[in-house]
């Protein structure tokens, strides 16, 4: 049996699901892969629990999950201490072959991630932000393991980021396989937001925009500020990750983003924004009806092609792959040298904390066997 040390940044819903799955699947990982996953540290923005021996025991992990799910901070846990420095946690807790897992949605982890890679640890990202800030940070992250040969190893090095696009759907691994084989990717299109998929499906059934957004907000499908979804910025980050995965050198400000509300509404408070939503109903209703009259539907899509990366609402045939998409399903279509005119299509649930956590866990296990 081999110990696989884990340090977890972020104990939000995905981080908690990951901890639950690590505990639940101990015998699978032992029997099938000869691995024992030792959680050496868990950190949130307030504090951390660290146990650098054989890791936090399962009783304590389960307790931490409940503690965080109840809205408490790690600093307030009996076993927790303050953390002012994630790099320090990596230093204190880590040992050889440690996998640092970032389930935050923050850029505050970047220094610690780069530090971990410099120490020859591995990294798994569910967090999109480190891959979508400066190109230089992307290059440093995805070159990890490549120093020996002075080349970027990307997915073949000591980092994985499958769940940053389409949750656990195998979109990044597919892109990386196409790239490494030398297949020429001409175009990637698709729908990469479960939340906006829900909204667009709702519009299609005739509901007013305001009602669909309020319902999604009430059910917790949107971020606390729904504009974080409706702005399209989250989809834009995913499109940028796909574009950079193709080797394009490009920054967020070069992604063309069309959101689902006018710029003026960005200044409102959340409650003012929710109150103002009905102003948009007529416009969306008209767009949906105009689309339907031509056999089309409205979808929120991303396109990466011809050196250009764009996201926004589009009108597509109701009977096409994107038009048939319902609810929170995501879809990725790759047009390549070998997949044209028959595209390579990946579709399925692109959201959900458990599905996402399972993708993070696959990445972790894979890194245990990467040179």
| Residues with catalytic function | 238
Using rule CB under 8 A, residue 347 touches its own copies? yes
Using rule CB under 8 A, residue 32 touches its own copies? yes
Using rule CB under 8 A, residue 99 touches its own copies? no
Phi/psi of residue 64, each to 5°?
-65, -40
Smallest distance, its own copies to C-beta of residue 178, A: 8
Phi/psi of residue 346, each to 5°?
-125, 130
Q: Single out the residue of 4, 6, 21, 133 in contact with its own copies (rule: CB under 8 A).
A: 21
Contacts of 146 (CB under 8 A, 6+ apart): 152, 153, 157
**CA–CA dist 257, 92 (Å, integer):** 41
Site for its own copies in 53-72 (CB under 8 A): none
Instruction: Count the site residues for its own copies by CB under 8 A.
Output: 63
Residues 1 and 36 sit within 8 Å (Cβ to Cβ) = yes
Closest CB to its own copies among 177 and 308? Answer: 177
Using rule CB under 8 A, residue 13 touches its own copies? no
Q: What is the DSSP letter of 280?
A: G
Q: Single out the residue of 3, 12, 13, 33 in contact with its own copies (rule: CB under 8 A).
A: 33
Closest CB to its own copies among 91 and 340? Answer: 340
* Stretch binding its own copies (CB under 8 A), from 4-12, 64-72, 86-94, 156-164: 156-164
Helix (H) or strand (E) holding 25: none
Q: Which of 92, 88, 93, 95 is nearest to 109 (CA)?
A: 88
Closest CB to its own copies among 266 and 338? Answer: 338
Q: Single out the residue of 5, 47, 145, 202 in contact with its own copies (rule: CB under 8 A).
A: 145
Q: Single out the residue of 2, 54, 95, 308 in contact with its own copies (rule: CB under 8 A).
A: 2
Closest CB to its own copies among 173 and 211? Answer: 173
**Using CB under 8 A as the criterion, what x/- string covers residues 303-342 for binding its own copies?**
------------------------xxx----x--xxx--x
* Stretch binding its own copies (CB under 8 A), from 125-133, 222-230, 258-266, 345-353: 345-353
Q: Determine whether 294 is exposed, middle or buried from the number of CB atoms within 10 Å of its CB (0-12, 13-18, 19+).
A: exposed
**CA–CA dist 159, 153 (Å, integer):** 9
Q: Judging by DSSP bridges, how do beta strands 256-257 and 296-305 pair with one another?
A: unpaired
Q: Single out the residue of 12, 88, 152, 312 in contact with its own copies (rule: CB under 8 A).
A: 152
**CA–CA dist 135, 248 (Å, integer):** 10
Q: Single out the residue of 45, 52, 111, 146 in contact with its own copies (rule: CB under 8 A).
A: 146
Longest dimension (CA), the chain: 65
In order of 31, 235, 260, the CA distances from 46 in angstroms are 36, 28, 34
Contacts of 219 (CB under 8 A, 6+ apart): none
Local structure of 317: helix, strand or coil: strand
Smallest distance, its own copies to C-beta of residue 259, A: 26
**Using CB under 8 A as the criterion, what x/- string covers residues 351-370 for binding its own copies?**
-x-xx--xx-xx--xx-xxx
Using rule CB under 8 A, residue 208 touches its own copies? no
Per-position b or e across 175-204, b if 16+ CB within 10 A of its CB: bbebbeeeeebeebbbbbbbbbbbbbbbbb
Q: Single out the residue of 69, 256, 266, 345 in contact with its own copies (rule: CB under 8 A).
A: 345
- CB-hemisphere CA count at 13 Å for 278? 1
Residues near its own copies (CB under 8 A) = 1-2, 21, 24-25, 28-29, 31-34, 145-146, 148-154, 156-157, 162, 168-170, 173-174, 177-183, 327-329, 334, 337-339, 342-349, 352, 354-355, 358-359, 361-362, 365-366, 368-371
């Amino acid at each position: 049996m081999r110990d696989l040390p884990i340090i977890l940044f972020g104990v939000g819903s995905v981080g908690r699901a990951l901890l639950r799955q690590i505990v639940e699947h101990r015998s699978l990982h032992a029997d099938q892969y000869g691995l024992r996953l030792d959680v050496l540290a868990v950190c949130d923005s307030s504090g951390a629990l660290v146990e650098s021996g054989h890791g936090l025991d399962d009783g304590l992990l389960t307790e931490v999950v409940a503690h965080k799910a109840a809205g408490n901070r790690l600093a307030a846990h009996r076993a927790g201490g303050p953390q002012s420095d994630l790099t320090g946690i990596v230093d204190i807790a880590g040992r050889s072959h440690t996998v640092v897992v970032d389930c935050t949605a923050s850029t505050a982890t970047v220094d610690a991630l780069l530090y971990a890679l410099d120490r020859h640890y591995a990294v798994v990202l569910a967090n999109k932000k480190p891959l979508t800030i400066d190109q230089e940070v992307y290059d440093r992250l995805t070159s990890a393991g490549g120093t020996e040969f002075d080349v970027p190893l990307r997915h073949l090095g000591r980092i994985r980021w499958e769940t940053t696009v389409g949750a656990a759907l195998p979109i990044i691994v597919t892109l990386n396989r196409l790239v490494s084989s030398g297949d020429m990717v001409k175009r990637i299109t698709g729908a990469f937001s479960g939340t906006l998929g829900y909204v667009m499906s709702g519009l299609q059934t005739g509901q007013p925009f305001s009602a669909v957004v309020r319902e999604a907000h009430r059910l917790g499908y949107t971020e606390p500020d729904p504009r974080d979804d409706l702005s399209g910025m989250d989809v834009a980050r995913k499109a940028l990750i796909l574009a950079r995965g193709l080797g394009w050198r490009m920054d967020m400000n070069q992604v063309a983003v069309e959101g689902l509300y006018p710029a003026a509404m960005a200044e409102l408070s959340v409650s003012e924004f929710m109150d103002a939503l009905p102003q948009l109903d007529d416009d969306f209703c008209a767009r949906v009806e105009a689309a339907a009259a031509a056999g089309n539907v409205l979808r929120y899509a991303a396109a990466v092609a011809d050196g250009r990366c764009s996201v926004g609402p589009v009108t597509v045939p109701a009977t096409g792959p994107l038009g048939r998409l319902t609810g929170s399903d995501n879809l990725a279509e790759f047009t390549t040298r070998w997949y044209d005119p028959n595209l390579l299509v990946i579709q399925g649930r692109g959201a959900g904390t458990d599905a996402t956590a399972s993708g993070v866990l696959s990445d972790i296990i894979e890194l245990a066997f990467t040179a």
